[in-house]
């Protein structure tokens, strides 16, 4: 009998492997990371032909690749149900359609998509509300083959992501021109950082590449204790500065010539950018009237809509929206951190006014001192803007931040932009969307107001199951982003995701997408921190891990003694343990309030791939790349070193390592690294002769040098703009920048990954 049971067990294990349903004892498997990146889960639909048209997981992703047919099954699985979307992602292939009639469901307004059902060649059944709709005659025409007939040949039916050029009924007004207004802090603290020259130099170099057309408008405001405007009318000989000192009742000194057509006034714009860095060189002004400058900017831009870009390097301390220091340095390592929310509603109210007039505000924050990002961030958060933070930026004393700002700014100025946009996300009848995450204002229950949309913005939403879905073959989510392009076209980008139904708890758990779950939980934990406390959010993160592993244990036929997870969730504890140690949620470690709040904002707004990299960076050993698996990309051979756990045990003083955190890639060299590596890759004769700082690899004519440079190029090509390469020697004073990311280890205030697993096991008992 026992032998028969063993045979059954072996057979079941074989079936589990075939279906990818293996489980892992987390306490026994120390190296849990897959060598070559985390595999994304596959979505399998019953209709085989539909599996070829799935929406890219980089754009649209659900925490579960099978939707539970009832809310009860979802509750028993203990998994969160939600969707992450990167709606305006840069795409190399995007079908664009121009037609007289955009085919939509007459009832729920869903756009026709690959997952609808054709009753016949004249009628289609909506995959969200199930209404049968008539097809217009035009839809019988296939633009690719110039023939009439089969409607399934249309691009709308062959692509899960598609863009329409919208007809006139999608416009409430003529498309707005691209409008760019720059607000520059010129107080002493700001000018001393040297950012002004960098900003002016980069904008001068990129002026021709700013998205727009012949209607593009531009303007500049500077501010300290007063607000300075610049008349750039094309008939002037040179830019004319106009100063308004009454910051409590700001007005525009000459309303018509402050925002100018870039083409017509380009000479004066260039002249102003060349003059600005010199103009404030010797300033002694210590005050910063940001609120008044924002009010002035709103008066300038609100008639058309557009983008306000703010560079701020100190705490705004006078006039409307003035702030006072709130951070207590003694509380930086506390369990519960005060002042995570705004001190005033000035910036939120301002942002909502902007949103109503199609104006977004983007922030570049450069302060060395406390700036109250908790208050300032509201201006971007609620206007659909974005935010960058360069703590302790200085053009001489902090060169890595200088390079980071330059890379970010070049990308920011030249990336694609959508104006006066709104996004609506629909889902199949029986589901509902209830909580949104990201930078926007919710205009109605499901309409996100996004005055600007950019390709680096991510969003999340939580989903409820309201009805039994057992009669439904599959469910769909559809996101429609309506925007005005920089060339003045009204466009609609539509993404449709289709998922099958699951009828058992085990099936739901086996369908879970661990990275997407971590992305959604991170956003939910930020909300929990702001509405309750950080310790409450930390407890919730741990409880999710305990609940999910307990639910999985309940599905197993026997209850083994280890800590088991299905293979598709084996990294969940690793990621969540790292999330607890992230800048956003860590305790017991000195963390500046501004840096914590910024990290929270990033978790809410980053697309998933960048969010995961910020929580759990990629670590590679690079001292023996000739031993690694290689992939060919065109003419380039790319070594593929395995990813290592973020543990000090993995870092040997005889090795060299790359740590990829998303916007910075650290190159760490141990003091006993092999002489061949020093000479052939770094061009140094000894460890002692290595420079303290290096921001690019030397181009040596050696195989070793070429391999590492190819690998770096490969990493850089996977992101929207290049990361900064920062060199760190083992004996360097900045070694902590590298070691602080080794989150699998133990610290004074937090458990190691292995101890975290032990804690989970005890909780599950």
pLDDT classification of 9: cutoffs 50, 70, 90:
very low
The DSSP code for 103 is -
Task: Pick the range with the lowest mean pLDDT from 17-31, 513-527, 637-651.
Answer: 17-31
Task: Pick the range with the lowest mean pLDDT from 166-175, 312-321, 345-354, 728-737.
Answer: 166-175
The DSSP code for 237 is S
Task: Determine contact, residues 320/299, Cβ cutoff 8 Å.
Answer: no
Q: Does residue 644 form part of some domain?
A: yes
Q: Which residue has the tokens 């409430």?
A: 172
Q: Does residue 647 form part of some domain?
A: yes
pLDDT classification of 635: cutoffs 50, 70, 90:
low
Predicted confidence at residue 632, as pLDDT, reads 61
566-586 residue pLDDT tens:
999 999 999 999 999 999 999
Task: Pick the range with the lowest mean pLDDT from 535-539, 697-701, 756-760.
Answer: 697-701
Alpha carbon distances (Å) from 505 to 356, 470, 500:
44, 14, 14
Q: Does residue 317 form part of some domain?
A: yes
Q: Does residue 137 form part of some domain?
A: no
| Percent over 90 (pLDDT), the chain | 79
30 versus 647: which is more confidently predicted? Answer: 647
Task: Pick the range with the lowest mean pLDDT from 11-20, 264-273, 695-704.
Answer: 11-20
Give the structural domain span for 271: 179-414
DSSP string, 377-413: THHHHTTT--EEE-TT--TTT-HHHHHHHHHHHHHHH
Quick one: average pLDDT of 655-661? 96
Q: How many residues does the chain have?
A: 765
Q: Where are the alpha helices (DSSP H) in 654-697?
A: 675-677
Predicted confidence at residue 7, as pLDDT, reads 43
pLDDT classification of 485: cutoffs 50, 70, 90:
very high
Residue 74 CA to residue 89 CA, distance in Å, equals 30
18 contact partners, CB below 8 Å, separation of at least 6? none
263-276 residue pLDDT tens:
999 999 999 999 99
Residue 328 has pLDDT above 60, yes or no: yes
Q: Does residue 174 form part of some domain?
A: no
Alpha carbon distances (Å) from 467 to 42, 74, 265, 430, 496:
26, 12, 60, 5, 21
Predicted confidence at residue 153, as pLDDT, reads 85
Rounded to the nearest 5°, which phi and psi values hold at 710? -60, -40
Quick one: average pLDDT of 160-183? 91
Helix (H/G/I), strand (E/B), else coil: 289: coil
Task: Determine contact, residues 420/464, Cβ cutoff 8 Å.
Answer: no
Residue 10 has pLDDT above 50, yes or no: no
134-150 residue pLDDT tens:
999 888 877 667 777 67
Q: Which residue has the tokens 């900017």?
A: 297
Mean pLDDT of the chain: 92
Quick one: average pLDDT of 51-75? 95
Q: Where are the alpha helices (DSSP H) in 44-141?
A: 71-77
Residue 128 CA to residue 139 CA, distance in Å, equals 20
Calculate ∠ Cα 303-364-491, nearest 5°: 45
Task: Determine contact, residues 273/304, Cβ cutoff 8 Å.
Answer: no
Predicted confidence at residue 695, as pLDDT, reads 84
Answer with the one of 359, 382, 414 that is the final residue of a domain.
Answer: 414
Its sign, for the CA torsion 521, 523, 529, 530, is: negative
CATH number of the domain within which 702 lies: 3.40.20.10
Answer with the one of 414, 439, 459 that is the final residue of a domain.
Answer: 414
Residue 36 has pLDDT above 90, yes or no: no
Predicted confidence at residue 102, as pLDDT, reads 93
Quick one: average pLDDT of 308-333? 94
Predicted confidence at residue 11, as pLDDT, reads 45
Residue 744 has pLDDT above 60, yes or no: yes
Answer with the one of 368, 399, 414 that is the final residue of a domain.
Answer: 414
Predicted confidence at residue 137, as pLDDT, reads 84
Predicted confidence at residue 93, as pLDDT, reads 92
Helix (H/G/I), strand (E/B), else coil: 163: strand
Overall number of domains in the chain: 2
Longest dimension (CA), the chain: 99
pLDDT classification of 634: cutoffs 50, 70, 90:
low
CATH number of the domain within which 320 lies: 3.40.50.410
| Percent over 70 (pLDDT), the chain | 95
Instruction: Copy the structure tokens of residue 177.
Output: 């021109």
Global confidence as pTM: 0.94
Residue 667 CA to residue 645 CA, distance in Å, equals 16
Residue 5 has pLDDT above 50, yes or no: no
Rounded to the nearest 5°, which phi and psi values hold at 668? -105, 130
pLDDT classification of 18: cutoffs 50, 70, 90:
very low
Q: Which long-range contacts link 712-719 to residues 24+ away (Cβ below 8 Å)?
A: 712/658, 712/665, 713/636, 714/633, 714/636, 714/638, 715/658, 715/660, 715/665, 718/609, 719/610, 719/662
Q: Does residue 267 form part of some domain?
A: yes
Alpha carbon distances (Å) from 101 to 97, 136, 138, 271, 330:
11, 8, 8, 48, 63
Residue 216 has pLDDT above 60, yes or no: yes
Whole-number CA gyration radius for the chain: 28
Quick one: average pLDDT of 417-435? 95
Alpha carbon distances (Å) from 224 to 183, 286, 388:
11, 7, 21
Residue 112 CA to residue 638 CA, distance in Å, equals 41
Q: Does residue 314 form part of some domain?
A: yes
Q: Does residue 114 form part of some domain?
A: no
């Amino acid at each position: 009998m026992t032998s028969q049971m063993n045979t059954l067990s072996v057979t079941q294990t074989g079936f589990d492997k075939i279906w990818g349903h293996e489980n892992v004892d987390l306490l026994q498997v120390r190296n849990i990371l897959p060598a070559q990146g985390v595999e994304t889960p596959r979505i399998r639909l019953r209709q085989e032909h539909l599996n070829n048209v799935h929406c890219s997981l980089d754009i649209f992703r659900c925490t579960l690749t099978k939707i539970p047919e009832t809310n009860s099954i979802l509750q028993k699985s203990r998994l969160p149900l939600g969707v992450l979307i990167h709606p305006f992602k840069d795409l190399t292939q995007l079908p664009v359609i121009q037609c007289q009639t955009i085919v939509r469901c007459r009832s729920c307004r869903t756009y026709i998509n690959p997952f609808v059902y054709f009753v016949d060649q004249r009628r289609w059944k909506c995959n969200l509300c199930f209404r049968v709709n008539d097809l217009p005659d035009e839809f019988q025409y296939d633009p690719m083959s110039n023939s009439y007939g089969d409607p399934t040949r249309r691009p709308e039916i062959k692509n899960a992501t598609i863009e329409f050029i919208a007809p006139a009924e999608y416009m409430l007004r003529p498309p707005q021109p691209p409008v760019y207004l720059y607000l520059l802090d010129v107080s002493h603290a700001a000018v001393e950082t040297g950012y002004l020259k960098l900003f002016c130099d980069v904008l001068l170099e990129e002026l021709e590449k700013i998205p727009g057309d012949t209607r593009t408008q531009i303007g500049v405001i500077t501010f300290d204790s007063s607000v300075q405007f610049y008349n750039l009318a094309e008939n002037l000989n040179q830019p004319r500065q106009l100063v308004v000192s009454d910051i409590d009742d700001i007005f525009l000194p000459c309303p018509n010539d402050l925002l100018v057509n870039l083409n017509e006034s380009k000479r004066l714009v260039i002249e102003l950018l060349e003059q600005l860095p010199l103009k404030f060189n010797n300033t002694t002004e210590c005050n910063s009237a940001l609120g008044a400058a924002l009010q002035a900017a709103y008066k300038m831009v609100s008639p058309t809509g557009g983008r306000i870009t703010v560079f701020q390097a100190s705490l705004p301390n006078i006039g409307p929206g003035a702030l006072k220091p709130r951070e207590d340095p003694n509380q930086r390592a506390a369990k519960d951190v005060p002042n995570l929310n705004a001190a005033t509603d000035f910036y939120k109210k301002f942002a909502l006014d902007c949103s109503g007039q199609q104006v977004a505000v983007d922030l570049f924050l450069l302060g060395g001192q406390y700036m109250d990002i908790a208050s300032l961030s509201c201006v971007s958060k609620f206007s659909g803007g974005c935010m960058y933070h360069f703590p302790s930026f200085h053009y001489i004393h902090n060169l890595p931040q200088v390079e980071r700002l330059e890379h970010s700014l070049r990308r920011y100025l030249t990336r694609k932009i959508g104006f006066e946009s709104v996004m609506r996300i629909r889902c199949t009848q029986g589901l509902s969307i209830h909580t949104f995450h990201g930078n926007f204002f919710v205009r109605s229950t499901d309409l996100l107001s996004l005055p600007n949309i950019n390709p680096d913005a991510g969003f999340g939403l939580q989903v409820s199951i309201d009805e039994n879905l057992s009669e439904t073959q599959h469910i769909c989510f559809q996101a429609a982003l309506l925007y005005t392009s920089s060339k003045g076209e009204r466009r609609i980008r539509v993404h449709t995701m289709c998922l099958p139904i699951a009828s058992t708890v085990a099936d739901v758990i086996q369908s879970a997408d661990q990275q997407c779950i971590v992305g959604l939980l991170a956003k939910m934990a930020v909300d929990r921190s702001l509405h309750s406390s950080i310790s409450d959010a930390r407890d919730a993160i741990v409880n999710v891990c305990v609940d999910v592993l307990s639910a999985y244990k309940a599905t197993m036929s026997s209850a083994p003694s280890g800590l088991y997870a299905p293979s598709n969730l084996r990294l969940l504890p690793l990621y969540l343990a790292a999330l607890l140690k992230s800048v956003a949620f860590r305790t017991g470690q000195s963390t500046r309030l501004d840096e914590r709040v910024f990290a929270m904002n990033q978790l809410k707004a980053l697309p998933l791939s960048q969010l995961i990299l910020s929580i759990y960076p990629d670590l590679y050993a690079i001292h023996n790349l000739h031993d690694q698996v290689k992939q060919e990309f065109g003419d380039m051979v790319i070594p593929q070193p395995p990813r290592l756990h973020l543990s000090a045990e993995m870092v040997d003083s005889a090795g060299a390592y790359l740590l990829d955190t998303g916007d910075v890639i650290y190159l760490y060299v141990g003091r006993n690294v092999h002489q061949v590596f020093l000479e052939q890759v770094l061009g140094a004769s000894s460890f002692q002769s290595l420079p303290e700082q290096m921001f690019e690899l030397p181009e040596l004519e050696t195989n070793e040098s070429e391999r590492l440079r190819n690998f770096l190029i490969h990493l850089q090509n996977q992101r929207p703009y290049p990361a900064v390469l920062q060199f760190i020697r083992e004996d360097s004073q900045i070694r902590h920048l590298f070691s602080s990311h080794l989150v699998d280890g133990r610290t004074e205030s937090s458990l190691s990954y292995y101890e975290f697993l032990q804690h989970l096991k005890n909780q599950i008992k």
